[in-house]
């Protein structure tokens, strides 16, 4: 391979995954309302979706969704079901954005569209005890193409010993018709009929896509 070909391959490899800039994770006691483009909440008693990395038993969670008319994804919010201890405080977590084939697909396509690491709030456990049950991942705007199916996936970057973080969701094949749970556990993606409780917000400086609200 020539030097020019090698450089071209490296450029393509770098361009395939977008490394985001400044990002934050915050907690709140209420779900977001501003610029919400897609949300999935469920009536009745919600179920739990385990999300942890304990003794090499890592469980990554995410959700697929349609881009509708296209929008700039700015924030992803999920709801905590239970949090067992303070070992998540300040711990690192990665978020990936993928394309998906359709609403029934549970295996993300490669390469990822964008990927970045965050730190959970340093007082996450104490804040949870105060009723701050919503986690919002604030990312630089990521443009999503109209008509494309996407998914986000959260991955723990370190072991959290015996504590567990569990997110709200629904183990129900009909919970959210426009997408489905993305769930990785050793050593593959699992074909579960389930969905997360989640909210997606568009960038405030961009047009919003089609509004989807499922209950």
Q: Is 112 exposed, middle or buried (0-12, 13-18, 19+ CB in 10 A)?
A: middle
Q: Which of 52, 154, 57, 167 is nearest to 112 (CA)?
A: 154
15: part of which helix (H) or strand (E)?
A: helix 3-16
Average pLDDT over residues 163-189: 93
Check residues 185 and 6 and name the one with the higher pLDDT. Answer: 185
Element (H, E) at 28: strand 24-28
Contact in structure between 91 and 157 (CB atoms under 8 Å): yes
| pTM, to two decimals | 0.86
The helix/strand/coil state of 3 is: helix
Q: For residues 123 and 89, give the distance between their C-alpha atoms in angstroms, rounded to a whole number.
A: 6
Residue 137's pLDDT band (boundaries 50, 70, 90)?
very high
SS3 of residue 139 by DSSP = strand
On whether the CB atoms of residues 33 and 199 are closer than 8 A, the answer is: no
Amino acid 9: pLDDT: 32
Residue 209 clears pLDDT 90, i.e. is over it:
no
- pLDDT-derived band at 71 (thresholds 50, 70, 90) equals very high
Dihedrals phi, psi of 78, to nearest 5 degrees? -130, 165
pLDDT band at 63 (very low <50, low <70, confident <90, very high): very high
**Half-sphere CA count of 168, side-chain side, radius 13 A:** 19
Q: What is the pLDDT of residues 138-163, one digit of tens each?
A: 998 999 999 999 999 999 888 877 78
More confident residue, 166 or 211: 166
| % of the chain at pLDDT higher than 70 | 84
Coil, helix or strand at residue 62: strand
pLDDT digits (tens, 9 = 90+) for 1-56: 444 433 333 333 333 344 555 689 999 999 999 999 999 998 878 899 999 998 87
3-state SS, residue 90: coil
Q: Which two tokens stand for residue 79?
A: 């709801």
pLDDT of residue 70: 96
Interatomic CA distance for residues 184 and 147, integer angstroms: 25
Please give the average per-residue pLDDT across 94-116, as a whole number.
95
Q: Which two tokens stand for residue 49?
A: 């979706």
Predicted pLDDT of residue 22? 65
Average pLDDT score, the chain: 85
Residue matched to tokens 């361009």:
15
């Amino acid at each position: 391979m020539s030097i020019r070909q090698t450089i071209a391959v490296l450029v393509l490899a770098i361009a395939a995954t977008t490394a985001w800039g400044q990002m934050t994770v915050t907690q709140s006691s209420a779900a977001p309302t501003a610029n919400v483009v897609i949300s999935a909440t469920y009536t009745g008693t919600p179920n739990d979706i385990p999300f942890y990395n304990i003794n090499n038993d890592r469980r990554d969670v995410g959700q697929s969704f349609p881009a509708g008319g296209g929008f700039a994804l700015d924030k992803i919010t999920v709801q905590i079901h239970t949090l067992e201890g303070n070992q998540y405080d300040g711990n690192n977590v990665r978020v990936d954005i993928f394309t998906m084939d359709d609403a029934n697909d549970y295996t993300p396509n490669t390469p990822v569209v964008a990927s970045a690491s965050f730190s959970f709030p340093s007082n996450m456990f104490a804040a949870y005890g105060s009723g701050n049950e919503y986690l919002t991942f604030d990312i630089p705007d990521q443009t999503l193409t109209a008509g494309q199916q996407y998914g986000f996936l959260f991955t723990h970057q370190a072991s959290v010993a015996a504590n567990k973080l569990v997110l709200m969701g629904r183990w129900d094949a009909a919970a959210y018709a426009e997408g489905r749970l993305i769930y990785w556990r050793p050593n593959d993606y699992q074909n579960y009929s389930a969905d997360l409780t989640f909210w997606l917000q568009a960038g405030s400086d961009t047009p919003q896509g089609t509004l989807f609200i499922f209950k």
